[in-house]
Amino acid sequence: MGLHGHSLRQQLLLWLVIPLALLLVAGTLFSYWVALRSATITYDRALLDPALALAEHVDSEGGNTVLDLPKVAQDVLRIDSYDRIYFSVSRLNGELLAGQPEMPPPPPVVPVGHRTFYDGTVNAERVRIAALYVPQPNGPVVIQVAETMVKRNRLTREILIGETIPDLMVATMAMVLVWFGILRSLAPLERLRSEIAQRSARDLRPLDGSYAPTEVRPLVATLNDLLGDLRDALDAQQRFTANAAHQLRTPLAGLQTQVELALRQQASEPMLRSLHQLRSATVRAAHLANQLLALSRAEPGGHRPDALRALDLRSVAQDAASIWVPRALVKELDLGFELEAAPIVGDARLLRDLLDNLIENAIRYTPAGGSITVRTAIEADNAVLSVVDDGPGIPADQREQVFQRFYRVPGAIGDGSGLGLAIVQEITNVHAARVTIDDGPARRGTLIRVYFAKVPPGSGRVAARSPGPVSPVPQ
Ligand SMILES: Nc1ncnc2c1ncn2[C@@H]1O[C@H](COP(=O)(O)OP(=O)(O)OP(=O)(O)O)[C@@H](O)[C@H]1O
Ligand SMILES: [Mg+2]
């Protein structure tokens, strides 16, 4: 019955409900049959008593068979609190000697044991009849006693109800128990589902299947094998990028040196133009190789998860200042630092890559005369690193795309590779942090903030292994 794709719960219930219902019906039919039989046997026996009593009074006087019983006594025999009772005394040929004429004629053959019971109708009412055959000198007479079915039906009904209600209760109870059983047994599957659902694409650690029932373990094991294969494939890819970028750097550095040297030689105008172009192409290629390397460092497999240490964002920013302030000056930009203590658990190397990319962007895209501020601070439960400039800003509808690899806002100046913010994103992931882009103050420029989980002082190493998710972050 095409149960594929049904829920396990539905299947189990179906397999239970249908057989249980069939059992219940069969049980009820059987109970009915038993009830009917015992009611019939019990009351038939009782019905024979008045017949036997009447037989005592059948008399044959001079070839004439009569019922020698006063009318009052006959009426007493017919008294019953539930049913109407009829009787008749007749010959085998149906000739009525005494009693009610409505009584159906008796079977004309004398049965074994001289008594028999059968169903019939009197005055259009169903009755049960007991017939007693009494031998007499001038041929046997039949005494019939009939009674309506009120008592019998009532007893049948009572037995039936008495049997069926406990059955129904047991069946209902079984269903309820099974329902809860199913819910309970499916709970580990639900837990497994939520464990998988919480994963991001880069979290390929094996699933914890220890709580899963034996039947589900093979599934977990297979999933873990698959996750392992994926991890290996990603690692291989990451290693390849890292190696390629690394290999590229050395020849590019050599090329750059040679171009610089050539530029110092006497050369014709066109030759000089070519050399300048060659130089900027080389710088661009070297930058690309560096960005690729930084990206592969930030990817899972590119860094050691246990390299996360208790550190202060403030010192990361202080280290960066010495390199970036001179470069900002060259472009006539005012690069300022407003640093407060901001302890987190992190990878200093990666955090430096992150900050470098944010400052580099600010310097590249802010026109001369502008100002840039790097801040570290504690806000509520987060340690926040922010870089704000008063340059052209990033259009609101581009603020998600700029995090994609190789994406640059159309018309962006300079010749970046479009990897900077992808690197930033990757590094925030490593730290379970969150990055947001907003307008700068006075609705100009770009404000980029990275929210980290704040670390209470003195709890560094313990938390370092598992930087929990960032607590509620303002949008
Ligand atoms: N501070 C900023 N002001 C204005 N636009 C910015 C700023 N930072 C980033 N952008 C925009 O976002 C785009 C993506 O930035 P991203 O750093 O990822 O790449 P890139 O700077 O172009 O290249 P790369 O950083 O790899 O050299 C940039 O091309 C630029 O258009
Ligand atoms: Mg950039």
| CATH code, domain with 148 | 3.30.450
Quote helix, strand, coil % in the chain, to nearest 5.
50, 20, 30
173 Cβ partners below 8 Å, 6+ apart?
none
Residue 422 Cα to ligand 2 midpoint, Å, equals 9
**Residue type, position 366, single letter:** T
Q: Is residue 437 lining ligand 1, measured as CB closer than 6 Å?
A: no
- Report whether pLDDT(463) > 60: no
Which ligand is closest in space to the CA of residue 387?
A: 1
The mean per-residue pLDDT over the stretch 146-164 comes to: 88
Q: Which residues surround ligand 2, an ion (CB under 5 A)?
A: 361, 416, 420
CA-to-CA dists, residue 376 to 12, 341, 365, 443, angstroms: 58, 7, 22, 21
> Domain check: are 295 and 209 in the same one?
yes
> Domain check: are 313 and 455 in the same one?
yes
Residue 361 Cα to ligand 2 midpoint, Å, equals 5
Q: Is residue 83 lining ligand 1, measured as CB closer than 6 Å?
A: no
Q: Is residue 389 lining ligand 1, measured as CB closer than 6 Å?
A: yes
Residue 377 Cα to ligand 1 midpoint, Å, equals 24
What is the C-alpha separation between 165 and 356, in angstroms, rounded? 79
> Residue 335: inside a domain, yes or no?
yes
Report residue 324's pLDDT band, with 50, 70 and 90 as the boundaries: very high
> Residue 327: inside a domain, yes or no?
yes
> Domain check: are 406 and 355 in the same one?
yes
User: 89 has which bridge partners?
Assistant: 98, 143
> Residue 474: inside a domain, yes or no?
no
Residue 308 Cα to ligand 2 midpoint, Å, equals 25
Q: Whose CA is nearest to atom 29 of ligand 1?
A: 408
Q: Is residue 362 lining ligand 1, measured as CB closer than 6 Å?
A: yes
Q: What is the pLDDT of residues 345-404, one digit of tens each?
A: 999 999 999 999 999 999 999 999 999 999 999 999 999 999 999 999 999 999 999 999
Is residue 5 classed as helix, strand or coil in its secondary structure? coil
> Domain check: are 223 and 129 in the same one?
no
> Domain check: are 84 and 148 in the same one?
yes
> Residue 191: inside a domain, yes or no?
no
What is the C-alpha separation between 298 and 320, in angstroms, rounded? 18
> Domain check: are 314 and 375 in the same one?
yes
> Residue 186: inside a domain, yes or no?
no
> Residue 119: inside a domain, yes or no?
yes
Residue 436 Cα to ligand 1 midpoint, Å, equals 14
What is the C-alpha separation between 129 and 102, in angstroms, rounded? 13
Q: Is residue 144 lining ligand 1, measured as CB closer than 6 Å?
A: no
- Report whether pLDDT(466) > 60: no
- Give the whole-number percent of the chain exceeding pLDDT 90: 53
Closest alpha carbon to 334 in 414, 389, 393? 389
Residues 296 and 427: beta-carbon distance below 8 Å? no
Burial of 474 (0-12, 13-18, 19+ CB in 10 A): exposed
What is the C-alpha separation between 147 and 129, in angstroms, rounded? 7
Range of the domain at 139: 8-156
Q: Is residue 446 lining ligand 1, measured as CB closer than 6 Å?
A: yes
> Domain check: are 458 and 356 in the same one?
yes
Residue 448 Cα to ligand 2 midpoint, Å, equals 13
> Domain check: are 222 and 258 in the same one?
yes
> Domain check: are 223 and 96 in the same one?
no
Q: What is the pLDDT of residues 405-451, one digit of tens each?
A: 999 999 898 889 999 999 999 999 999 999 999 999 989 999 999 99
Which ligand is closest in space to the CA of residue 446?
A: 1
Q: What is the pLDDT of residues 156-206, one digit of tens each?
A: 888 888 888 888 898 889 888 888 888 888 888 888 888 888 887 777 889
> Domain check: are 315 and 444 in the same one?
yes
Q: Is residue 418 lining ligand 1, measured as CB closer than 6 Å?
A: yes
Q: Whose CA is nearest to atom 13 of ligand 1?
A: 408
Residue 421 Cα to ligand 2 midpoint, Å, equals 6
335 Cβ partners below 8 Å, 6+ apart?
321, 324, 325, 328, 329, 359, 363, 371, 372, 373, 374
Residue 403 Cα to ligand 1 midpoint, Å, equals 9
Place of tokens 């007493």: 76
> Residue 214: inside a domain, yes or no?
yes
Q: Is residue 31 lining ligand 1, measured as CB closer than 6 Å?
A: no
| Cα four-point dihedral sign 345, 349, 353, 359 | positive
> Residue 185: inside a domain, yes or no?
no
Report residue 473's pLDDT band, with 50, 70 and 90 as the boundaries: very low
Q: Is residue 386 lining ligand 1, measured as CB closer than 6 Å?
A: no
What is the C-alpha separation between 317 and 359, in angstroms, rounded? 10
| CATH code, domain with 285 | 1.10.287.130
Q: Whose CA is nearest to atom 4 of ligand 1?
A: 393
Residues 204 and 231: beta-carbon distance below 8 Å? yes
| Cα four-point dihedral sign 388, 390, 395, 396 | positive
CB atoms within 10 A of CB 366: 24
The mean per-residue pLDDT over the stretch 20-49 comes to: 88
Residue 291 Cα to ligand 1 midpoint, Å, equals 13
Count structural domains, the chain.
3
End-to-end alpha-carbon separation of the chain, Å? 52
Please report the atom of ligand 1 found closest to the CA of residue 389: 1
- Final residue in a domain of this structure, among 279, 302, 325: 302
Residues 220 and 212: beta-carbon distance below 8 Å? yes
Please report the atom of ligand 1 found closest to the CA of residue 448: 1
CB atoms within 10 A of CB 254: 11
Largest CA-CA distance found in the chain, in angstroms, rounded = 169
> Domain check: are 270 and 288 in the same one?
yes
> Domain check: are 276 and 220 in the same one?
yes
Q: Is residue 391 lining ligand 1, measured as CB closer than 6 Å?
A: yes
Residue 327 Cα to ligand 2 midpoint, Å, equals 15
What is the C-alpha separation between 380 and 48, in angstroms, rounded? 97
pTM of structure: 0.64
**Residue type, position 349, single letter:** R
- Final residue in a domain of this structure, among 104, 126, 156: 156
Could you tell me the two tokens for 411? 């018309």
Please report the atom of ligand 1 found closest to the CA of residue 362: 1
- Final residue in a domain of this structure, among 302, 335, 352: 302
What is the C-alpha separation between 453 and 383, in angstroms, rounded? 6
